[in-house]
Amino acid sequence: MMTSSSTLQASSTLSGVSWGAIFAGAAAAAALSLILVLLGFGLGFSAVSPWADSGVSAKGLGISTIVWLAFTQIVAAGLGGYIAGRLRVRWANLHGDEVYFRDTAHGFLAWAVATLMTATLVVGSVSSIVSGGVQAGASVASGAASGLSQAASGNGENFGYYVDSLFRDDRPAATSDDAVHAVAARIFTRTLENDGELLPQDRAYLAQLISQRTNLTQADAERRVDEVYAQARKAVEEAKLKAKQAADTASTVAAWTSLWMFVALLCGAFFASFAATFGGRRRDTVVYLDTDPSLPPVR
């Protein structure tokens, strides 16, 4: 069957991209992604329990989240790609390989547009969080400046240790238990924040305070100071270790989450392209009932 030169010229001047079909597929993919993600959040919250040994474990929740994200990408991207391929303009007088390539490109572009739309929403949310964090940081800085002003006037907690040292005596005067506890707490806090070793004068002074209130000898009081301070230092070191382990765990989780998100997006791109080729083939097999030659040709 011979093709007229006018038909060939019209086909060669038409764009190979059907943006209407692409945006339609992208909108469908983005909407379905939102629905499935919200459903996943609902299922996740229902599976998590605040009670110990109840509900799904953290590892199980992480695996199920990754699986659900991959499922969301495959289903939503597949739907978007199919719609983009099915609604595209029909290309006449093209080789089969070219049609296959264009269908694949339409599915990929629909997935790309949907991904960019979703990323824009996510970036907007992150920007609001960052701006809130900046405002909170400004508030903290303002509070810190106020605290430094109070410290400079002699009422600040940071200078309490030095103020206490001004009034030390070899024979501590009788004071309330709350005041003595506050003095001991400031000595412990300053020592733990610095080198971690009690100064001899701090150790002797604490022993004097303890001896005055417990009827212990100076030597026994010093041994008690050493024992209690060792326990406090051990608790602080364990807390630091747990915080470091939690930070390492969070870093590892973030890295694996990014990796599996990358894999899920690749799966979405593949299934969108594949579904577009299927939709395009279905589009090309449509049989039009009205064959009136006076009607404009369908491309």
7 within 8 A of 13, measured Cβ to Cβ? no
pLDDT for the residue numbered 299? 52
CB burial string 212-251: b at 16+ within 10 A, e below: beeeeeeeebbebbeeebeeebeeeeeeeeeeeeeeeeee
Is residue 31 in a domain? yes
Same domain for 200 and 94?
A: no
pLDDT for the residue numbered 225? 83
Same domain for 161 and 260?
A: no
Same domain for 68 and 212?
A: no
- Which residue in 256, 259, 270 sits closest to 112, CA to CA? 270
Same domain for 232 and 94?
A: no
What end-to-end distance do the CA atoms of the chain give, in Å? Answer: 17
Is residue 181 in a domain? yes
Same domain for 61 and 26?
A: yes
Neighbours of 126 (CB within 10 A): 10
Is residue 130 in a domain? yes
Cα 89 to Cα 102: distance, rounded to the nearest angstrom: 11
Cα 198 to Cα 206: distance, rounded to the nearest angstrom: 10
Is residue 9 in a domain? no
Is residue 98 in a domain? yes
Q: How far is CA 196 from the centre of its chain?
A: 36
47 within 8 A of 55, measured Cβ to Cβ? yes
Same domain for 124 and 175?
A: no
Is residue 297 in a domain? no
Same domain for 267 and 233?
A: no
Q: Count up the domains in the chain and report the number.
A: 2
- Which residue in 25, 28, 20, 31 sits closest to 110, CA to CA? 25
pLDDT for the residue numbered 81? 93
Is residue 8 in a domain? no
pTM to 2 decimal places: 0.58
Same domain for 102 and 163?
A: no
Residues of the chain predicted below pLDDT 50: 1-3, 7-11, 126, 129-130, 133-134, 136, 140-141, 144-145, 147-157, 166-167
Same domain for 219 and 273?
A: no
Six-digit token pair at 124? 């907007």
Same domain for 114 and 30?
A: yes
pLDDT for the residue numbered 166? 45
pLDDT for the residue numbered 97? 81
- 191-246 pLDDT, tens digit per residue, is 777 767 788 888 888 888 777 777 778 888 888 888 888 888 888 888 888 888 88
CA angle 213-215-217, nearest 5°?
A: 115
pLDDT for the residue numbered 18? 84
CB burial string 10-49: b at 16+ within 10 A, e below: eeeeeeeebeebbbbbbbbbbebbeebeeebeeeeeeeee
Domain extent at residue 219: 151-238
- Which residue in 114, 102, 121 sits closest to 24, CA to CA? 114
Is residue 41 in a domain? yes
Six-digit token pair at 240? 């630091």
Same domain for 217 and 278?
A: no
